[in-house]
Structure 1
Amino acid sequence: MAVALVGEDHVAALSAAKDGLAKYNEALDKLVPWSEFDATLDIMSRYQQDFSAEAGVLVGSIKTHMLNSRREYHNATRSVFEWCALVVPLLKGYLRIVQTSTNTADAEKKILSKVFTDGIAKMGKAVEQLDECDSLLSKAVGQLVTLQVQLENDFSQQNNTSRPSVATGPVGMAIAVTGAALTEAMVIKKLKEHFNDIRTGFKIMNGRCQTMSSGISTATKALEDDKDMISKLSAKVTESQVWVSIEGIIMEELTTAAQELHDLCEAYKARHGK
């Protein structure tokens, strides 16, 4: 009977992991506003050619930091979520056996021991990835502040008509070439229209920089909460692994540890997938 239960619970675990990951993917942006960040990066790309070279370099660097931070975040949280989705049915099966039978469930203990070992490794890696995500977001915030200063400098009222970094941008160059066939008044009018468009772009960018900085603060708080949850999970997994490995362990102690780990896994799943 024990072998049958192992098979049934293992199949249930794999099925739950698959279903859980589908929920995780649906809730991808629930905790960190990645979709809002993406929208800001799109706007940065749209106006990037109208900025000075210095601003353009900053935009490129910010985009790189944000994309890399998203990758680290998703790799970390997805890995732990997947593990939680896998282990919950196994814990339920194990608890069912130890609570209703005098059988020591050796086969189940071996499976759980391996799963626990894998979980500890995944969680250690996940915390490292979240630390890297945090570092990348901090760098992005610093560069957002620098970008705002650079944009103010590029498009300040007193310099709008004299800074070569703006006047010789793609749109400015087009106006200059076309201007050869136009009167001076028409050229000045078109230049003013161009700079008005640039100012509009600057205002949008400036607002987006502020919004992204605020969003990153929210994201940083979410990262700290995630790291705290993963640390608690890892500690409980380590404790559960010790109980599972002891021969003739008191069932009450083992059952308590397994139930607490089950509850922590469910909480992490709820945070990222429900």
Structure 2
Amino acid sequence: MNRNYSPRREHNIAQMLNHLILCLLMMLLLYPLGLTMWGSLKGTLEFQNTQWYPTLPLWIENYKEAYRAIWRYLLNTIIVGAVGTAGLLLQASVAAFVFARMKFLGKEVLYTLVISLMMVPSILSLVPLYMIYKSLNLLNSYWALIVPMWTTGPIFGIFLLRVFFAAIPEEIFEAARIDGCGPAGLYARICVPLSLSILGALSVMSVIGAWNDLLWPVIAISDNKYMTISAGLVNRFVGSSAMGGSSTNYPILFSGYSLASLPLIILFLFTSRTYVQGLTSSAVKM
């Protein structure tokens, strides 16, 4: 047996390697965020010369200029996210209640067809979707952004809520029926109050999806008045400058990125507990 061999020493070396790898991964994650933050506080010429590390003085005026440019995009995103999320939650919860607690011919087949839509890549429907919305004259409007949230967004919510509703004890529903509750009362007085945490988690996911969506708004919206924040940032600070032949103003662009991220950070700080509870409660039911 080798006297120099030490299991404890080998364990310490492996632990140090794990920590080193984690630190490198953390650097890869945080450095781009840091580059965005300190890049947003530089002047244009200063950014070109010192873009890889923070410097003084701080150009706070970049945020004022960026806010004046993107406030309309922020408002549009709030409108689309709020209306789209409300319709998504209503459709998902009603459909999940029907699939979980109602009995009708072909229920399982219909449910399987609905859930199978989760397996279809959304990129495959972009061209047909554009043709449909163009024929309905819905392009360049809020409806071009809201209706897709109502049609494709509820699928994952139906999957989560159906499992949760099906796991609620039947005795609760029987007691409610004895008290005179019909299907609408069972849905509104039992299923919805018990699933508030899951509905909260779906709301957060829906708002984040609307906030980060870039491809469909760029395709469906050409009017600057209706653009959401992701498409608006590209259109205002990248696309227009490229067509004009001038270089992109990266400090203002990074300031816009930072301002666009702030509402999501605040949302997650206030809803993180509800978000985790919603996902875990549904997972436990599964």
- Shorter chain as normaliser: what TM range? 0.3 to 0.5
Q: Which has the higher helix share?
A: 1
